[in-house]
């Protein structure tokens, strides 16, 4: 625009100069022919200058129009870019909402009221590939001793299959089946002979019911289960120990307690789990042997946890399923339990202790004996450290005196050490070494009978242990 004004001003000044010159020429009185010729020539030049001015004006108008069009196009392009950015942002926001929209839409398609809505299935398997070296008096036993054989092999010690169904906000049910190695025969009648290998050891092996109960959850502090369900002590310790696939916990390993039984179980959590309890009234013979007896047994536990610290005490009293018609009972089995320690994401350290009186052990039935009585005692210390993501190291030591009064010199020293790798939340693999040494006699353990009467025995095992669950 500024250039256009300069050009027009210049052209105007040139025209005025020519007009002024023409006027001055007209004022002279002489040489009229020459003046007329000059006036004609100047008029022609003025005409040409006017044409040039008009041409320049037209070119400037065209340039200005082009410039305005360019500015309009640039503004339109900018508007389009802003619109595209707004659309992209809207599309991104809409995309982030797609999963929720899909969930909402799928929820409208899901059938209502079917049993599958409130039913879940689960499973857990304990397995190992290991080498076992067992000796009694320094000599390897010939053949099989209560399921244990020297050599190398693969073993699935447990495979649980569970079904949980919720009827409503209060009532639910559970069925958990257990698969174990089948040894000997089974029966549904009462067994009272506890000599090794005994019917009590053989019954229930194979595919059988581990848990089957109806639950009423009135609130977190009051839950009632009727049927075969977890007992108060062993599952509580297993949950803290966390390595059940490697070895049973203390009293379960040496058969001074069971993980489940048939009866009525009352449990709950108070103060958001800071305080927990469970009390069970049961048959007393364990989940493998359903018995009808003249009296019932009792087991209970009270425990607490706070900022990683945990502690619990419990106990058992009863006839262990021996109080049947026609069989006199002279004693009552009793057991005291205690557990304490600390657990966080980095490590766990804990200790368990038990004291028992007149528990049936190693073929002796103290409950039905008019003359024999005995006491037992033991402890376990355990620890593990998560030294890297998915990696941990662990160790444990157990000491048990199973017959303090009858055979005071019989002692059991057990330990395990290993390293565990957990490639996924549902899989654990551990390289483990176990050793169990029984002095001056025999003791029944989860790894079979170790030692002989009056003879010490050892049990060494090394291999890969693991579990997977779903």
Lowest mean pLDDT among 26-40, 273-287, 309-323, 358-372: 26-40
Per-residue burial over 79-111, b if 16 or more Cβ lie within 10 Å, else e, is eeeeeeeeeeeeeeeeeeeeeeeeeeeeeeeee
3-state secondary structure of 40: helix
DSSP-assigned letter for residue 308 = T
Tokens of 409: 């010199």
281 beta partners:
264, 298
Mean of per-residue pLDDT scores for the chain:
83
Q: Which two three-digit tokens encode residue 201?
A: 């050891």
For 436, list phi and psi in degrees, rounded to 5. -130, 125
**pLDDT above 90 (res 28):** no
- Structural contact between residues 456 and 437, judged by C-beta atoms closer than 8 angstroms: yes
d(CA 217, CA 232): 17
For residues 318-349, one letter each, b for 16 or more C-beta atoms within 10 angstroms of the residue's C-beta and e for the rest, the string is bbbbbbbeeeebebbbebebebbbebeeebbe
At 361-376, the pLDDT tens digits run 766 789 999 998 999 9
Sign of the alpha-carbon torsion through 25, 26, 31, 37: positive
Out of 66-70, 156-160, 197-201, the most confident range is: 156-160
pLDDT in the model for residue 95: 58
**Which is higher by pLDDT, 154 or 68?**
154
List, in order, residues 6 or more apart from 468 with CB less than 8 Å away: 124, 125, 426, 427, 428
């Amino acid at each position: 625009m500024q250039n256009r004004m300069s050009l027009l001003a210049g052209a105007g000044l040139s025209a005025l100069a020519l007009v002024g010159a023409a006027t001055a020429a007209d004022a002279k009185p002489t040489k009229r022919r020459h003046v007329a010729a000059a006036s004609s020539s100047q008029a022609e030049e003025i005409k040409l200058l006017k044409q040039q001015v008009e041409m320049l004006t037209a070119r400037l108008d065209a340039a200005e129009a082009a410039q305005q069009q360019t500015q309009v196009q640039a503004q339109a392009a900018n508007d389009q870019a802003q619109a595209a950015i707004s659309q992209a942002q809207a599309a991104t926001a809409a995309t982030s909402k797609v999963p929720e929209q899909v969930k909402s839409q799928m929820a409208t398609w899901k059938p209502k009221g079917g049993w599958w809505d409130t039913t879940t299935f689960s499973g857990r398997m304990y397995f190992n590939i290991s080498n076992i070296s067992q000796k009694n008096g320094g000599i390897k036993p010939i053949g099989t001793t209560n399921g244990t054989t020297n050599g190398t092999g693969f073993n699935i010690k447990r495979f649980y299959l569970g079904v949980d169904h919720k009827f409503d906000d209060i009532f639910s049910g559970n069925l958990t089946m257990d698969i174990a190695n089948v040894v000997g025969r089974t029966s549904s009648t009462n067994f009272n002979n506890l000599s090794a290998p005994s019917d009590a050891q053989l019954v229930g092996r194979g595919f059988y019911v581990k848990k089957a109960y109806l639950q009423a959850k009135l609130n977190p502090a009051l839950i009632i289960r009727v049927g075969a369900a977890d007992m108060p002590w062993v599952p509580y310790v297993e949950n803290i120990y966390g390595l059940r696939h490697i070895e049973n916990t203390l009293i379960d390993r040496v058969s001074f307690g069971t993980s489940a039984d048939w009866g009525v179980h009352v449990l709950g959590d108070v103060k958001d789990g800071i305080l927990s309890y469970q009390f069970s009234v049961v048959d007393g013979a364990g989940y493998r042997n359903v018995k009808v007896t003249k009296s019932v047994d009792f087991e209970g536990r009270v425990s607490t946890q706070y900022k990683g610290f945990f502690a619990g005490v419990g106990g058992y009293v009863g006839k262990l399923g021996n109080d049947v018609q026609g069989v006199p009972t002279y004693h009552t089995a009793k057991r005291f339990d205690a557990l304490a320690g600390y657990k966080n994401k980095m490590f766990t350290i804990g200790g368990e202790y038990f004291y028992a009186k007149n528990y049936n052990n190693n073929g002796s039935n103290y409950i039905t004996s008019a003359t024999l009585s005995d006491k037992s005692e033991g402890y376990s210390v355990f620890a593990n450290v998560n030294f890297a993501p998915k990696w941990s190291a662990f160790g444990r030591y157990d000491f048990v005196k199973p017959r303090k009064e009858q055979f005071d010199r019989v002692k059991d020293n057990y330990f395990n050490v290993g390293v565990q790798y957990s490639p996924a939340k549902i899989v654990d693999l551990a390289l483990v070494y176990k050793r169990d040494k029984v002095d001056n006699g025999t003791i029944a353990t989860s790894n079979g009978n170790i030692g002989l009467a009056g003879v010490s025995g050892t049990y060494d095992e090394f291999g890969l242990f693991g579990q997977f669950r779903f």
